[in-house]
């Protein structure tokens, strides 16, 4: 007599980038094992493959292209899949900011973590009176590089910026990044002056990001402080 099939529950969430509702399931024990083994191998290639496979398997909604999702969508998805798979809360050790020394234990509920958006953020970056860059958000590969590359980020700042340019345009003409080589895009970025470069940096600095404020009390000084955690890595130590 065959063993019974266990029905895996499904859940819904709304992608922060576009407001689209998608369905997903928790990752299974076999998938968690693959991810753990990949992380223990310290191989970015193995981790990348494991995360891509898990996200693709766990997203039930058809037509969602994981490779093209913005970094903050992936972080939000990964966090929620993890919550439904392992537990709704995360135990963390936080350093008290009043002395930058004392560490306290705290617990965060994943449902309370949101993607913070800056009202001044724009994907269009005007670099002078003539030209504007239309930017796109870093994708899955950059997410993996930021969170699981134990040797530090592999791409230079110029590489990251070049990979996030969607087009350059003026009032009469547009140059699509897909029609340019990476070398051409990097050379374009390198020719910018400091003021223009800072405008591009604003795009990344104000980009939507996972964020949560927690209040901690230093047991030694009795001082209460607010600690802001940002980015997926902050929620997993």
Q: Per-residue pLDDT for the chain (237 aa), expressed as one digit of tens each? A: 888 888 889 999 999 998 999 999 998 888 888 888 887 887 777 877 888 888 889 999 999 988 888 889 988 998 899 888 888 888 899 999 999 999 999 999 888 899 999 999 999 999 999 999 999 998 777 767 766 665 654 457 888 899 899 999 999 999 999 999 989 999 999 999 999 999 999 999 999 999 999 999 999 999 999 999 988 778 765
Q: Where in the chain is the domain with CATH 3.30.2220?
A: 8-87
Rounded distance, CA 133 to CA 143, Å?
22
Q: Which of 132, 128, 182 is nearest to 156 (CA)?
A: 182
Rounded distance, CA 99 to CA 28, Å?
42
Contact yes or no for 27/54 (Cβ under 8 A): yes
183: Cβ contacts below 8 Å, ≥ 6 apart: none
- Model pTM above 0.85: no
Task: Decide if domain 8-87 falls under CATH 3.30.200.
Answer: no
Rounded distance, CA 146 to CA 71, Å?
10
In the three-class reduction of DSSP (H, G, I as helix; E, B as strand; rest coil), residue 222 is classed as: coil
Rounded distance, CA 120 to CA 115, Å?
15
């Amino acid at each position: 007599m065959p063993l019974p099939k266990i029905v895996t529950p499904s859940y819904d969430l709304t992608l922060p980038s576009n407001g689209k509702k998608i369905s997903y399931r928790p990752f299974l024990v076999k998938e968690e094992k693959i991810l753990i083994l990949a992380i223990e191998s310290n191989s970015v290639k193995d981790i990348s493959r494991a995360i891509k496979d898990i996200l693709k398997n766990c997203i039930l909604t058809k037509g969602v292209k994981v490779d093209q999702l913005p970094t903050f969508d992936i972080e939000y998805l990964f966090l929620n899949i993890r919550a439904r798979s392992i537990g709704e809360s995360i135990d963390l050790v936080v350093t008290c900011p009043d002395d930058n020394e004392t560490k306290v234990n705290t617990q965060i509920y994943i449902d309370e973590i949101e993607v913070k958006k800056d009202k001044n953020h724009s994907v269009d970056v005007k670099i002078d009176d003539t030209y504007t860059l239309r930017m796109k958000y870093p994708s899955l590969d950059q997410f993996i590089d930021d969170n699981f590359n134990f040797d530090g980020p592999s791409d230079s700042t110029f590489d990251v910026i070049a990979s996030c340019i969607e087009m350059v345009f003026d009032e009469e003409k547009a140059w699509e990044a897909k029609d340019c080589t990476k070398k051409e895009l990097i050379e374009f970025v390198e020719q910018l002056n400091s003021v223009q470069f800072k405008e591009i940096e604003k795009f990344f600095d104000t980009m939507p990001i996972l964020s949560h404020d927690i209040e901690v009390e230093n047991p030694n000084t009795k001082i209460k402080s607010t600690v802001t955690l940002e980015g997926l890595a902050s929620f997993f130590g």
